[in-house]
Every structure is written in structure tokens, then in C-alpha cells.
Structure 1
Amino acid sequence: MIMMSLALLLGVAQVAPVLADQTPTNNVGYTVRAILPSNQVNRQISYFDLRVKPRESQKLAIVIENTSNRSQRFQVSANQAVTNQNGVIDYSQLSPKLDSSLKVGIANIFAGDLTQKVTVPANSQKRVTLRYTMPAQKLRGIILGGVYVQQLNPVQPKASGKIMINNAYTYAIGLSLQEGATVKPDLKLKQVGASQINARNFVTANLQNDQPGILQGLTVNARVTQAGQTQTLIQQKQAKMGMAPNSNFNFGIPWGNQELKPGQYTLYLTANAKGQQWQFVRNFTISAPLIKRLNRHTITPAPQPNYWLYLALAMLIASLLAIIGYLMYRNRHPRHAK
């Protein structure tokens, strides 16, 4: 089963993972756990893995324990699972952009209790409930989301030189709701084009899992050529990715030092995940106005060293030193030079 309980450290460049069946060892000032109901499928895991029925209404409960010596406020929300641009299933987005294939999601069944704020006194705990109601029509596959808990008043910032560090910890408890049989995921290639991520140019291929099944162990290998040519201009391979049911993300192929010109290009993309394989070939165009707009804001990549030039210069210097050495030797030993 996919691991669906984690803690993210926000505000600093670190991630503090918490396995589904472990208690966090880092002192974050609070803990969160799920109270598993009777319709839990697997009681050996600590996130919600529920078998549900049409029209069923149920309250889910979590316990927030404040282990600090001060009162803390938290925001608790039921979030839809989506796939972020790194190919990682993401439970943290309060209002994500949803895929067109998602017909019934977390926002539809948790309409009344989607977000709430709670206060937990120092060294105490509080039970928080969220109610869902399944639609009348039986659903295929899985609705995947997470109960997301975020600190609203973290510990006061600590000064580190001139940098203020504000630690805010968040927890996500996975939530899987399933009525019938498991559905296999699928992969489709949607739009292909040029775009910019963090001020760097990419060719992006929008990949969509349009089925209500979790896609795990995804490996993607992509390359770009000029249309009608075979030489690879840019390429990217990435493994160990995953996709939430009924979601999409942009797989990025960085330009690096390659300056793509306006024109026609072809994307070749292969993907595999747990015995499933996909192959796509797609022609696309990069226009001159788009290139101009991208280059206006891009970070110029650092030039790569020309090792052949360095080798030629080294050989030239060695030859000159050899000639100079020979001339000096001949001047000092004229008889031996004849």
C-alpha cells in the first residue's frame, strides 16, 4: 500500500518525513493520529483506508496532541490528492487545480467540513471530526485525499545571522475511499510545449492519469528532436514517481545549455509502471514570440568548459616549452647539437 502519512517542515529547506506507522522522533510540539473506524480495510496501517457504500455518511476523527507548554492553533482540512510537478502525490493543497477526469472528489463529499480551525491548550489533546457523505451512485476505483493539519501560530522566529527562520510543521494523514474493485491506472499524453519553471526553460509534457487508480513506480524517459531529424537535442529520465487518481502533471525536460530555436520539434516519450507500458510520439511547435518571452526571464546557464580547447592549449604550451628547452640546450652545448 502507498505510504500516506507524512510530516512536512515548511519555512525552511528541509523535509521531515514520518512513516505511516511510526511516531515522529523530532520535537515539533504536537502529534496527530487517526482514530480508525470499523470499516478500515487494513488495521496495520495508520492512515484511513476505508471500504464505503453509496449514500453512506460517516464521521472521521483525528486526535491532535499538543506536547508544548503553550496553547496552539491549527487548521484542519480535507484535501484532494493531486500530483505535483515532481511526480509526487501531494496532499497539501487546499484548493488545487483539479483534472478534468475527476467527477467526484474530496470537495464533493466533505462539502460541510472541508476546513476548520481548532485550539489545543498546552499539554493536552483534542479530537477533531470531519464528516463525509458518499453520492447515491456507486463509484469506480478510489477517491484519494488527505486530512491535512497545519500550525497557525508556530514558535517565534529564531534569528540566524540576518536570516529569520520560522519553523511550521504540517501533517497529512492519507484518506482512501473505495466502494468496489480496484481500477488500473492509465497514462495519457496531453499538451506538449515550451514553458518556464523557476526561471529555467523546459519542454513540458502534460501526463494524465484519467482513471480512479493510484499509479506507482512510474519511470519516464523523454527526448526531443527537430521534426524529421533523429539527433537528440535534449532528454530527461526520471524514476520512482507516482500519480494520484484522476490527476495530471507536467513532466519537464530541461533545455540546459541547449538554446532551442523557433521551429517544429518531436517529442518521444516512453513510460512504465508496475507491468504497464506506454509510448508516445508528438510533434509540437515553439514559436518565436514564445522564445523571446521565455528568454526575457530565464536564468542564463553557466557555460560548460570546453575540454578539447583546454587539451589543445596544453599541447601547444608543451610543444613551445619543448622547443624553448631544445634551443637553450643547443646554445649551451653547440658541439652536441650538430
Structure 2
Amino acid sequence: MKKASYLLVIVLCSFYLLAGWDSAVQADAAKADETEIGYHIYAILPENQKNPDSSFFDLQMKPGQKQTIEVAVANTSVEDQTYTIEINPAYTNDQGFIDYSEKKETEEKQRELTIDHIATYEKKITVPKGQTEKVPITLTMPEEAYKGELLAGIKVSKVKKQTNQVGIANTYSYLLGLRLTESDQKIQRKIGVKKIEPTIAFGKASVAIDLINPVREAYGHLTYHVEIKNEETGKKINEKTYSGLQLAPVSTYHFSIDWDDEQLVAGNYQLVLTIEDKKDNQWTFHRNFAISPDAAKQVNTVVVQENRFPYQALLIGIVGLIIGAISIFCITKWKNKRRTRRKL
């Protein structure tokens, strides 16, 4: 079976709240083994770079503007290498952080503002050994002005050649941040709740809340406080606080509330969710939701099966070892008897 293992080297992967502004991108350069990876990338910053001290693209654009930016790919290995290039829009991953490592759909309603409609570029490049090549990326902004920011990650990957018979290939990737704005006008932050449903998250029974950020602004340093009660008895069932989370612009976060290794119980519940940021914004949601018997059973069954210790497989293995040991003992004893008879 062909397998693929991935080493993702995050150069600029998150948009954090720092020094009083959380819409900007923090350069979080992760050190990697250059000998093993054999290449690195960097941004060739243009004149309209907002902060020339940053190592990612943070560009102030105009409606209808067309501009070509360049990413340098330096091949430091002793062989010619081919690299793939893709630009992924920012999304909120299941851990609650802004991510760019995959190509995922966002909640963007005006489709002309997605990075796929704005950026054109070659999807593959070959760089000779010891050389550096520039990858041009042409940005064409829509004619209609927009507020906020457009966030994406430029992902450059090298697929290593297969070196063994089982077909294991390692893909080494770098991510470089891309932020496009047209003005510094502030946007009123909003958060909405789409649905609440039982689910399985990280191998545990959970209740998931789909939260949506409908505006083009990245949120950081978010704190979530959750309280869930039984609707009939008023008994508190679950209470959690999560800190340091993020929301990507115009994205949905599948926010999962851990049930503390307990099974879900069918019934009617009341949810109170409070979300706060570092800009004195607060959102409080009161929602009633139900867990049906079928949904609870389905989640609980899967969780038990996934977490169940494989006693049956272990027993079969032990019995197999015993039978094998007995067989080897009997065969060895039989051979020894034959040798003894031959000597006589």
C-alpha cells in the first residue's frame, strides 16, 4: 500500500493578536533541518508592502489593481527538484486556529473575493540544484472595493522520490502568509451560531457548535465559556472555558465541547455560550438543543468501539503464540527422538 507522510514546516501560518492589532500577520518562522529538506522559500517584498520588516506579504491594494509578486524558491540540495505551488484561503481548523495547510471552502458569499479568483500562478516549478528561481503570482483585485482583509497561505511543496519498495514518499512543505487589504477602515466584528449537534471530536463524545465569522477580519485571543444544563431539571451538565482561540475571516468553526469521557445522554438541553476578545467585544448566545436517542446511541457506540481495548485480538494473538510454541516444542522433541533412534 502506498503511504504518504507529511512534514509541514510552518513559516507564516497564523494571524495573531500582537501589540494591539490582531488583524496583522505574525511571522512565526519555524526552524527546519535544511540538510533533510534541501530548500527554503522567502517573499520578495514589493513597494506596497505595509510593513517592510515583515517576512510575509502584507499588501495594500486598490480596487481593480493588477500586480505581480514573487516568491523565491532556493534549492540547496545536490539534485534538481520539482516543487508544487498552491494558494489556500485561510480557514478555522478543528483546534480553533487559523490555518492554510489545506484547500477548504470558506463561507465567502461574494465568490469573486476568494483568492482563487484573484491569484493566478504556475502550479509547478523545477529548480536546478544549488539555484534559486522566482515564482510569479499575479494578483488582480476586483473592481468593487471591499472592507477588511483577504488572508491566504502560499504553500510550496517538494515530493521526495520513492526510495524503498513499499512506496513511502515524504512531502516537505513551507507556508508563506499573504494578506491583502484596500483600506485601514475598522470593521464591526460579528459572530453567529449556525447549529448545535452531537458529534465525535478527537475520539470523544462531544457536542459541536458551528460558529461563523461573517466578516473579513481575523479574530485572535478569543475566550469561550460554555455552560450546558438539562432543560427540565436545570442541573448543570457541562462547563468549559477555552482560551487563546482564533477565527479566520468569513469562516465557520466547528467548535466541539468535550464531554469528559462521559457518554451522551438523550434529552433537552440549554446552552449559554459567551465569547470575548481583547478588544472589549463580547457575544453571548442562549440556545436550546436536543440530543435524540438515536444520535446519542450512534455517537456512544462509535466512541466505545474506537476506544475499546482489543481484548479479542490480544487473546487470539496469545493463543497463537502458545500454539506456535507448543508446535515448535513438539517438532523439536520429535526430531531429537529420531536422532536418538538413528544412533541406536
Q: TM-score, normalised by structure 2?
A: 0.76
User: Cα deviation per residue 1:316-337 (whole Å; 9 max; x = unaligned)?
Assistant: xxxxxxxxxxxxxxxxxxxxxx
Given the alignment of the two structures, is residue 44 of structure 1 paired with residue 53 of structure 2, yes or no?
yes
Given the alignment of the two structures, is residue 216 of structure 1 paired with residue 220 of structure 2, yes or no?
yes
Cα 1:221–1:102 change in 2 (3 A) is farther
Given the alignment of the two structures, is residue 78 of structure 1 paired with residue 87 of structure 2, yes or no?
yes
Structural mapping, 1:1-338, within 5 Å: 11=5, 16-18=9-11, 20=27, 24-27=31-34, 28-94=37-103, 96-101=104-109, 103=111, 104-110=113-119, 112-113=120-121, 116-151=123-158, 153-154=159-160, 156=162, 167-180=170-183, 181-274=185-278, 275-299=280-304
Q: Aligned-pair distance for 1:76?
A: 0.7
User: Cα deviation per residue 1:166-212 (whole Å; 9 max; x = unaligned)?
Assistant: 54321111111111224243222221111123443210011111111
Amino acid across the alignment from 1:227: E
Q: Aligned-pair distance for 1:105?
A: 1.5
- In structure 2, how many angstroms separate the alpha carbons of the residues matched to 1:84 and 1:64? 27
User: Cα deviation per residue 1:108-153 (whole Å; 9 max; x = unaligned)?
Assistant: 212x43x6011112111111011111111111111111211112x2
Cα 1:155–1:101 change in 2 (3 A) is same
Whether the 8 Å CA contact 2:199–2:207 is kept in 1: the answer is yes
Segments of structure 2 that go 5 or more residues without pairing to the other structure are 13-26, 310-344
Amino acid across the alignment from 1:287: S
Equivalent residue number for residue 329 of structure 1: none
- In structure 2, how many angstroms separate the alpha carbons of the residues matched to 1:243 and 1:170? 23
Amino acid across the alignment from 2:134: R
| SS of residue paired to 2:123 | strand
Cα 1:265–1:23 change in 2 (3 A) is closer
Whether the 8 Å CA contact 1:199–1:299 is kept in 2: the answer is no
Amino acid across the alignment from 1:169: Y
Indicate the structure with greater helix content: 2
Q: Aligned-pair distance for 1:256?
A: 2.8
- In structure 2, how many angstroms separate the alpha carbons of the residues matched to 1:22 and 1:89? 16
Whether the 8 Å CA contact 2:150–2:180 is kept in 1: the answer is yes
Cα 1:260–1:295 change in 2 (3 A) is closer
Equivalent residue number for residue 6 of structure 1: none
User: Cα deviation per residue 1:71-122 (whole Å; 9 max; x = unaligned)?
Assistant: 221111121111111111111222x122155642212212x43x60111121
User: Cα deviation per residue 1:224-272 (whole Å; 9 max; x = unaligned)?
Assistant: 2211443322233221111111111111112233222222111111111
Whether the 8 Å CA contact 1:67–1:124 is kept in 2: the answer is yes
- In structure 2, how many angstroms separate the alpha carbons of the residues matched to 1:237 and 1:299? 26
- In structure 2, how many angstroms separate the alpha carbons of the residues matched to 1:200 and 1:189? 22
Amino acid across the alignment from 1:54: P
Instruction: Give the CA RMSD over aligned residues.
Output: 2.6
Amino acid across the alignment from 2:148: G
| SS of residue paired to 1:147 | strand
- In structure 2, how many angstroms separate the alpha carbons of the residues matched to 1:294 and 1:157? 41
- In structure 1, how many angstroms separate the alpha carbons of the residues matched to 2:225 and 2:8? 27
| SS of residue paired to 1:64 | strand
The sequence identity of aligned pairs, in percent, is 30
Q: Aligned-pair distance for 1:48?
A: 0.6
Segments of structure 1 that go 5 or more residues without pairing to the other structure are 1-9, 304-338
User: Cα deviation per residue 1:270-305 (whole Å; 9 max; x = unaligned)?
Assistant: 1111121111111111112222322332246689xx
Cα 1:211–1:168 change in 2 (3 A) is same
